[in-house]
Amino acid sequence: MGIDFDDLKNKAQDLVEEHGDKIEGGVEKAGDFAKKRFGHAEQVDQVVDKIQDAIPDRPSAGQAGADDK
């Protein structure tokens, strides 16, 4: 019996879609911490932006799956 990676991937995608706003907030807090601790604000902001861009926006009612990439 092995790990069903497709099922694991689907569950992760569902969680990201359901809790994307919380994840974005956590990424923002982590970025703020990194800037205070290590500096390099411009680079940290770029990474935070890229991570947040990778998090899908919640689909509007009736549009679930319309923007799958």
How much is the pLDDT for 67?
Answer: 47
Which 3 state secondary structure label does DSSP give 69?
A: coil
The pTM of this model reads 0.67
How do the pLDDT tens digits run along the chain, 69 residues long?
689 999 999 999 999 889 989 999 999 999 999 999 999 999 999 999 999 999 887 654 334 444 444
How much is the pLDDT for 29?
Answer: 97
Q: Which two tokens stand for residue 51?
A: 């991570």
3-state secondary structure 8-68: HHHHHHHHHHHHHHHHHHHHHHHHHHHHHHHCCHHHHHHHHHHHHHHCCCCCCCCCCCCCC
What are the two backbone dihedrals, phi and then psi, of residue 64, each rounded to the nearest 5 degrees? Answer: -60, 125
For the chain, the structural domain boundaries read: 23-56
